[in-house]
A and B are shown apart, each in its own frame.
Chain A
């Protein structure tokens, strides 16, 4: 943007104040998204038991939902070969022989969506035998959506001079 020299300083001052306000708002929004989970109360914890049936190469049901803080017991049974269950993030593992039920009890103290995967080589698609444990609200998802929106606002308002790659004059044909 080109302005007459005489007015440049006052203009820069105005735009700089505007920019710093936008920056403050932006940081506030980012902090709000980051700390959103701390402001929301979780449901009271209870005891829950889920039966999870494993067979090559899927879990039934494919997803388990509990509230944060619940004491969760997973009864893993296998209908064909030996399968395992490793829960990402919780670093817990249990193995079930065919026809037998293995139990895993733990307190679901971290909220979010966690993949669980088979921990015993059981055939070709073994590395992709995956299910989902959903504990309370999946804040990471909501935070990511929040940041995605924020990023679009920033990119659309970012002064061209602050872009990390600049267009050359020769590129504007």
Chain B
């Protein structure tokens, strides 16, 4: 299959630590500023930098551009684990060999993404509040920072990113779709290389922080695109390549139940968010917002039963009650899931993107006008074409998922019709929620 090696173009830029560090530093600055803004700025969400730049700006970049086109690119510049990692490394740039921390091994039992499935569901339960209350957004961001920091000091490498981060779980799942990958050029070179500096580290860089052996890498899921292996490989055997989109989805090995469930959680959450946030049911919105009340408890239970129970159960029926088919075919839901999130985000982002302009001039809602844009009125963009784009996204998702389902069916010699029917019903459901 055709692949284009981008390394000759990018290598000088990536081997050097400075460009990545500068972007990380800017991201960290923005992250800390978002926390401060959420705590001391106006409680009105759509005039506070924290809500507007995290949930509209960052979310739009992540869901509409970064994940679909560059997979885990966000993880390579994410500010959350930096402080802990710098301490763990005892360095900000090149290794100095003076690391700090306990470097414990992550327990085998939790070497999967079940904890990420749970952490995402937990944040999702409170999403109506997190997305609209600046101080709650700050608390969530602080919690991310704190847990990531602690994980870096207690465990080896990037335990938070790999096993805990609620965002990292779905970025990893959907990065399998991306047209870009980090892979070794010639696995024979790796097999002959006994030092395995890509995993163990050397003077040029750290052993894979994501606990992946690059020589055996075949899917994007757990490669954080941090570029350390590009720096450590003495044979320049690591490449960044352009590849056919969705290439990881049809690789038959390494399919697991925890990742299968991630697909359901994300698909079910896209539907739930569309109903709660973009629907016209006031009572549902009120219930999702009223954390701690009976209405919210009912909403929370329904949501959990839907994503962990009803969706997987109906998919189990669609895959003829066969565990192997269930796990394998779940990977066919990934394109539809990603496009369902894109369809949801299109409406949410276009309708609210104009809040970015006043918020950059007056990030705290204190009446500043830094860039002269504070009086820019709320203007929903592209409302004429958004429904058509949403419908198109969902149809593309259905076509793509169906094709993957047929290919997985050919691999495991099972009938894909039930899975395609399942995707069709989900597509109709999303269409009804978004453009019905």
Q: Which of A15-23, A43-51, A57-65, A72-80 is the contact stretch?
A: A57-65
Given contacts A126-B46, A141-B436, whether A57 and B282 have CB atoms under 8 Å apart is yes
Compute how far the CA of A144 lies from the CA of B390 in the bound complex, rounded to whole angstroms. 10
Whether B406 pairs with A113 at a CB distance below 8 angstroms is: no
Which positions in A face B, CB cutoff 8 Å?
57-60, 62-63, 86, 88-89, 91, 112-115, 117, 119, 121, 124-132, 138, 140-141, 143-145, 147-148, 151-152, 154-156, 158, 163-168, 171-173
Shortest beta-carbon distance, A107 to chain B, in Å?
A: 17
| Contacting pair A86 B285 (CB below 8 A) | no
Bound: A148/B351 CA distance, A: 26
B47 neighbours in A (Cβ, 8 Å): 121
Closest to A143 in B: B391
Q: How far is the CA of A71 from the CA of B424 in the complex (A)?
A: 37
Q: A59-B282, A145-B428 provided; 15 other pairs, C-beta below 8 A?
A: A58-B286, A119-B378, A127-B45, A140-B391, A141-B391, A141-B436, A144-B391, A144-B431, A145-B431, A151-B399, A152-B420, A163-B403, A167-B410, A171-B250, A172-B410
Beta-carbon contact of A165 and B244 below 8 Å: yes
**Residue pair A127, B46 in contact (C-beta under 8 Å):** yes
- Asked if B378 and A113 sit within 8 Å, CB to CB, the answer is no
| Chain B residues, Cβ within 8 Å of A58 | 280-283, 285-286
Which residues on B sit within 8 Å (CB–CB) of A151? 395, 398-399, 402
- CB-defined contacts of A88 to chain B, threshold 8 Å: 351, 380, 383-384, 386-387
B133 contacts the other chain (Cβ, under 8 Å)? yes
Q: How far is the CB of A119 from chain B (nearest CB, A)?
A: 7
Over the window 314-356 of chain B, the binary record of Cβ atoms lying under 8 Å from chain A Cβ atoms (1 yes, 0 no) is 0000000000000000000000000000000001100110000
The reply to whether A130 and B352 form a contact with Cβ atoms under 8 Å apart is no
Contacts of B280 in A (CB 8 A): 58-59, 62-63, 115, 130-132
Across the interface, which residues of A come within 8 angstroms of B378, CB to CB?
Answer: 119, 121
Known: A163-B403, A165-B244. A141 touches B431 (CB 8 A): yes
Q: Considering the complex, give the chain A residue whose CB is closest to the CB of B394.
A: A144
**5 nearest A-B residue pairs (beta carbon):** A58-B282, A88-B383, A62-B280, A144-B391, A124-B132
Distance (Å) between the CB of B79 and the closest chain A CB? Answer: 25
A152 contacts B386, CB within 8 Å? no
A and B contact pairs by CB, cutoff 8 A, 5 listed: A59-B280, A112-B387, A127-B352, A144-B431, A147-B391
A125 to chain B, nearest CB (A): 6
Whether a CB of chain A sits under 8 angstroms from the CB of B435 is yes
Q: Is the interface of B mostly helix, strand, loop or mixed?
A: helix
Q: Please give the residue numbers on chain B whose beta carbons come within 8 Å of chain A beta carbons, in ascending order.
A: 1, 44-47, 128-129, 132-133, 244-247, 249-253, 276-283, 285-286, 289, 347-348, 351-352, 378, 380, 383-384, 386-388, 391, 394-395, 398-399, 402-403, 406-407, 410-411, 420, 424, 427-428, 431-432, 435-436
Residues of A within 8 A of B403 (CB): 155, 158, 163-165
A125–B286 Cα distance when bound, in Å, is 9
Residue of A whose beta carbon sits closest to that of B402: A155
Q: Are B398 and A121 in contact (CB under 8 A)?
A: no
Question: Would A171 and B428 count as touching, CB distance under 8 A?
Answer: no
**Quick check: A167 and B395 within 8 Å, CB to CB?**
no
**Chain A interface SS verdict (over half):** mixed
Q: In the complex, what residue of chain B is closest to A130 when comparing beta carbons?
A: B280
In the complex, A67 Cα to B25 Cα: how many Å? Answer: 55
Minimal Cβ-Cβ distance residue in A for B431: A144
B352 near A167 with CB under 8 A, answer no
B285 in complex: contacting residue of A63, A121, A125, CB < 8 Å: A125
Q: Whose C-beta in chain A lies nearest to the C-beta of B436?
A: A141
User: Quick one: closest B residue to A144, CB to CB?
Assistant: B391
Whether the Cβ atoms of A152 and B1 lie closer than 8 Å is no
Q: How far is the CA of A143 from the CA of B151 in the complex (A)?
A: 50
B395 adjacent to A127 (CB under 8 Å): no
Complex: how many Å from CA A132 to CA B252? 44
CB distance from A45 to the nearest CB of B (A): 22
Other-chain residue from B129, B245, B383, B399 in contact with A89 (beta carbon distance below 8 A): B383
Distance in Å: Cβ of A133 to nearest Cβ of chain B: 10
In this complex, what residue of A is CB-closest to B284? Answer: A58
Smallest CB separation, B244 vs chain A (Å): 5
Given A124-B133, A148-B428: A171 touches B411 (CB 8 Å cut-off): yes
> What CA separation (Å) do A148 and B399 show in the bound complex?
8
Q: A141-B436, A151-B399, A152-B420 are in contact. Are A164 and B244 (CB under 8 A)?
A: yes
The residue of chain A having its C-beta at the shortest distance from the C-beta of B351 within the complex is: A117
* Chain A residues within 8 Å of B276, by CB: 128
CA gap between A117 and B280 in the complex, in Å: 9
